Amino acid sequence: MELYSARICPFAERTRLVLVEKGIEHEHVEVDLSDKSERFMEVSPYGKVPAIMHNGVALYESAIINEYLDDVFPEPALSPADPVLRARGRIWVHYCDDKFLNDYYPLLTGSDADARDDLRGRVLDHFHFIDEHGLGASSDNGPYWFGAAPTLVDFAYFPFFERLPAWSHYRSISIPSECRRLKRWIAAMWMRASVQEIANSADYYVEHYKGYADAA
């Protein structure tokens, strides 16, 4: 298996975390997103990371890759056995990509101060929604989205919270004190060996997201 990835990319980190959690052997190919190779573009026609080549098959889009990995390498399972919970997990990943990130990234990159104030409020609303309706549904059974063990949902969200120090530094956004479940979840994720193996420092993100914030 070949993994095409970029260190800065949270979507690529999603798949890197799953590969490490499952102990899947692979060749890591670091992609220069400013100078994409022909080989990379063959594997990833969108020109985005992550992408994998496995047994002659190219796959891209992090959520799709991660479901594939969970199907082909079933141990340890990173999806609930219950079909209803699996469907809910897909809904939460969709919420991340279609709702949360549509406010989270513009908060950093937007240039209009009034718009940023509105986005800051919306991001805080997302934090409360995740705390109450996501993690709150299983808070009695463990710190993760579906209880005692992490799933693809946890690995879909965590890379964006790992990068929160850049948002805190440039846009003064942080986890509200009342979002206790969300804080517990972040702490539990930081304890995982896969996260510790891959994670970058807060200073790394402050430095590497400076261009996005300063351009706004």
HSE-up of residue 201 (Cα within 13 Å, Cβ side)? 3
167 with 104: CB under 8 angstroms? yes
DSSP string, 12-74: HHHHHHHHHHHT---EEEE--TTS--HHHHHH-TT--S-EEEETTEEEESHHHHHHHHHHHS-
- Residues carrying an active site annotation: 9
Which of 195, 179, 185, 180 is closest to 149 using CA atoms?
Answer: 185
- What CA–CA distance (Å, rounded) separates 45 from 113? 36
